[in-house]
A and B are shown apart, each in its own frame.
Chain A
């Protein structure tokens, strides 16, 4: 089993913590128990921030608004519809989740600043609506809720604490399961580089809205539990400062790790209780704490401990038995019978008045290695962006394996077997090398969010499969010794190789390499050339590459395409292109390569 495995000490600590929370009613008086219940609720709220901001990287300044929706829905269903609390609580969570899903939509088109405004406004509006909604929500006077019942028995605070603990444990485990699944990696990928994430086949829109929905669900459940704990909800309990408190909790513990939510939620519930009598300076100190955290402890307490003591989720000694990679396709055999893999016909695109690419036509046979060369600004990377779906052409068509993909978004093209690397590296720096490759395998997963959350058989098998292929690819490109390092800690050359391993993880038929040799030293260039050959020969993948290094281009390519000023200047086997007078004039003569 190749799952990410936390050291056993974390498991033991987690079980002890969960157990002591469950048994706390036996030992604690009613006030400390209440504080503990509150801490658990705040932990759930902090988790919601971690999901939205820490993992998906979407700023939300309105999580308290979702908590309000959860709390009010719960309280209203119980008081007005005489619904059981146990039904109303999940309903509140789901309603909040629905609002989160809807709020995710503006976030799709907008930068993080606008998202921060939209979420801020949302939080404000929710409070205003409940404050002005007299008929239903009793306006500012708030709603009193009867005690929750189980089979006619009124639940005591002690029993309710056990309920809160169980919900918190379940939500924590679910969050943890999602975080270590392909969906969790997709969220981090989204945060680290939206551009690259799209090219890995990740549906940005779906993940952003899902992250908002999931975060809102958690916040909503926290709100519903708060309603159950205090049996009273009013708008004052969910003002902007509460949203900021949740964010501060999350950052204090460590926003990029779900364990951080436990630390932050617990500390920021307990500390103010201990300091309750020194009140005048509290607001000021909370602001100061947040600022100092951002400046000196951006990864939070858990992040600090990890960095200091090297406690990592991954076990560095973990090494799977590496098998042989099977070829991804048989494109290298009997190519002619299959027809062209890529047909780019009269493609053009313009930005404003600038024609970046015009009237380019290109066919690539299965199993070929084709190079695109040309001076800077010739439109090479633009052509790649057109082929991988980052831009849509303003003229012409693009067909991959006889399918018209001209208007297909980037993430769908990955599923058709296109993968790419980037001229300016676009690795997911915060993820491990191994996880970067696993993100590349994203489109091959079938297990949905629910299955990941529950860690079903399918989800586990798939994860194991991803891990195995990731290890195989890492040894294929020679990075197996770095599997557990952070991607951004690799040398520049290694990062180029990692990008290729990541692109291969989707088992593509066509690999687009954007300047794979740029910035490499001569021995690295040699291994890069060998790697490209092996990609074709051992994996059966067709390669289209952009390069400036002529030795590499000439020795690798079956054919060469020359672009200049967005137009195709020449195309043919290396020898032809080398002797083409126009090419020599426009390119070879002019360029330092």
Chain B
């Protein structure tokens, strides 16, 4: 009994000892700025978390190699949340209260980001999000939370616009995943059809994350006889959906949200993916882009992976996190020696048409922290590669 109690006490006092509140501004010293990250490094969403971690790491290595920002080096503290809200809660509390980070970058998947939204806002820690595209992250408006790319509204609006206006779909249908991402997309789809395009959706179907068989949904959709199907799902599920649809004889045009816009779609769907149009939050695909800045990023990332990139990498989350770092850097540079969280937020709100790496230009204002609502429409070509076919939206 004593033994156990002793162990607990030792751990707790160790945690307590590292708690120091002497500094003027948390996370900032004369030589160092501490940036916190939490994200899924394990579990099904690990790809997103690892991309974000690497993007920020590439950025901080770059900054520190140049001697830091105004003499301060960047120190990154990153914790795994395994995509679980419970763990995200613990991780972010640790970042804010114990590690006393100056600001948070990238964030986690939506569930684990929404779970700590209030904590971040009430602790007044600046946070630039580059993973979650959930609308509720900005709702209600928080002075401390920013996002670098188009949210679900922008993504759904972009692809629905392309569907109805661009391709002239008359009988649209949707299948979406029953998570925050899919549901967000569904709401925008419904609202746009009703208010803007005055077209009725012939079928609305939903499935649960992790499902592997979609025939029930697809049969219902097929019997509604649509001419275009929006698949608001993550890429691997979207891939199976497209393939099963073809197997069931559902030959319509397919569209997808940002979640489908990775090469995992073609891996899962094979040739069935040809002609699939999706919306991308980036103006180009990171794996193949010739944009010199993206190429430079890929080269730097290669140093972390001398034996080749892991599957699906580099992804949009790489460059989005990298861009989030670049934005933080530019504000910190401008602030000079006098760095506080409040001034940092003010600085972020002055960001205008910031040219990131592989992203759309980012603009923040005191009333809008959505960096952009531009999206790119991309399509799977006959060679099974994504190619950009035009912008939608724009601020």
Residues of A within 8 A of B (CB): 9-10, 12-14, 16-17, 20, 24, 27-32, 34-36, 38, 128, 131-132, 134, 139-142, 144, 226, 230-232, 234, 236-237, 239, 241-242, 262-263, 266, 270, 272-274, 276-277, 279-283
Contacts and interface: CB of A to CB of B under 8 A. Distances in A.
Contacts of B41: 279-280
B281 to A, nearest CB: 20
Nearest to B98: A31
B90 A141 contact: no
A228 to B, nearest CB: 12
A35 B15 contact: yes
Interface string B73-115: 0000011101111110111011011100000000000111011
Contacts of B91: 276
Among all A-B residue pairs, the 7 with the closest Cβ atoms: A279-B80, A13-B1, A29-B19, A32-B15, A279-B41, A31-B97, A140-B179
Given A141-B136, A144-B118, A276-B80, A134 B94 contact: no
A128 B210 CA distance: 11
Given A16-B5, A38-B90, A282-B42, A31 B178 contact: no
B5 A270 contact: no
Interface in B101-155: 110-112, 114-115, 118, 134, 136
A423 B112 CA distance: 58
A9 B1 contact: yes
A277 B111 CA distance: 20
Contacts of B12: 24, 28, 32, 36
Contacts, number: 138
25 contacts: A9-B1, A13-B4, A13-B5, A29-B15, A29-B97, A30-B93, A31-B15, A31-B19, A31-B94, A31-B96, A128-B208, A140-B178, A142-B114, A144-B118, A230-B85, A236-B112, A239-B84, A242-B86, A263-B4, A270-B8, A270-B11, A272-B87, A274-B11, A276-B79, A279-B80
B16 A32 contact: yes
Given A140-B111, A279-B42, A279-B80, A14 B85 contact: no
Given A139-B183, A144-B118, A234 B85 contact: yes
Nearest to A230: B89
A28 B15 contact: yes
A219 to B, nearest CB: 14
Interface string B308-339: 00000000000000000000000000000000
B206 interface: yes
Which of A32, A230, A242, A283 has its CB near the most chain B CB atoms (within 10 A)? A32
A273 B134 contact: no
Nearest to B11: A270
Contacts of A140: 111, 178-180, 183
Given A32-B19, A141-B180, A262-B4, 13 more contacts: A13-B1, A28-B12, A29-B16, A131-B178, A131-B208, A139-B180, A232-B85, A242-B84, A242-B86, A276-B79, A279-B82, A280-B46, A281-B42
Nearest to A36: B12
Interface string B1-18: 110110011011101100
A94 to B, nearest CB: 23
Contacts of A131: 178-179, 208
A131 B4 CA distance: 39
A38 B93 CA distance: 12
A232 B118 contact: yes
A141 to B, nearest CB: 5
B98 A29 contact: yes
A231 to B, nearest CB: 7
B79 to A, nearest CB: 4
B78 A277 contact: yes
Contacts of A13: 1-2, 4-5
The listed residue with most B CB atoms (<10 A of its CB), out of A14, A36, A230, A263, is A230
B1 to A, nearest CB: 3
B249 interface: no
A355 to B, nearest CB: 51
A273 B1 contact: no
B124 to A, nearest CB: 14
Q: How large is the interface on B (under 10, 10 to 19, 20 to 34, 35 or more residues)?
A: 35 or more
A237 B1 contact: no
Which of A141, A236, A282: most chain B Cβ within 10 A? A236
Contact of B206 (A34, A35, A132, A234): A132
B43 interface: yes
B301 to A, nearest CB: 18
Contacts of A14: 1
A139 B176 CA distance: 13
Nearest to A259: B1
Contacts of B78: 277
Interface in B36-80: 41-43, 46, 78-80
The residue among B1, B19, B78 with the most chain A CB atoms within 10 A of its own CB is B1
Contacts of B16: 27-29, 32
Contacts of B5: 13, 16-17, 20
A230 B86 contact: yes
Contacts of B87: 272
B208 A132 contact: yes
A38 to B, nearest CB: 6
A277 B79 contact: yes
A370 B183 CA distance: 75
B115 A230 contact: yes
B93 A34 contact: yes
Nearest to A21: B8
Contacts of A273: 90, 94
A279 B50 CA distance: 11
A237 B94 CA distance: 19
Contact of A283 (B42, B114, B115, B208): B42
B365 to A, nearest CB: 26
B180 A34 contact: no
B330 to A, nearest CB: 28
Contacts of B94: 31, 35, 273, 276
B85 A31 contact: no
Nearest to B112: A236
Nearest to B109: A236
A280 B42 contact: yes
- Residue with the highest number of chain A CB atoms closer than 10 Å, among B43, B78, B89: B89
Interface string B167-198: 00000000000111001000000000000000
A146 B78 CA distance: 29
B9 A9 contact: no
Nearest to B135: A141
B57 to A, nearest CB: 13
A217 B324 CA distance: 45
A448 to B, nearest CB: 31
Contact of A31 (B93, B136, B180): B93
A54 to B, nearest CB: 18
A32 B98 contact: yes
B264 to A, nearest CB: 20
A277 B1 contact: no
B177 to A, nearest CB: 9
Given A29-B19, A131-B179, A141-B114, A236 B85 contact: yes
Nearest to B2: A13
A309 B94 CA distance: 38
Contacts of B86: 38, 226, 230, 237, 242
Interface in B191-229: 206, 208
B80 A141 contact: no
A257 to B, nearest CB: 12
Nearest to B38: A276
A125 to B, nearest CB: 11
A270 B80 CA distance: 15
B180 to A, nearest CB: 4
A128 B96 CA distance: 33
A234 B90 contact: no
B90 A132 contact: no
Contacts of B80: 276-277, 279, 282
A307 to B, nearest CB: 15
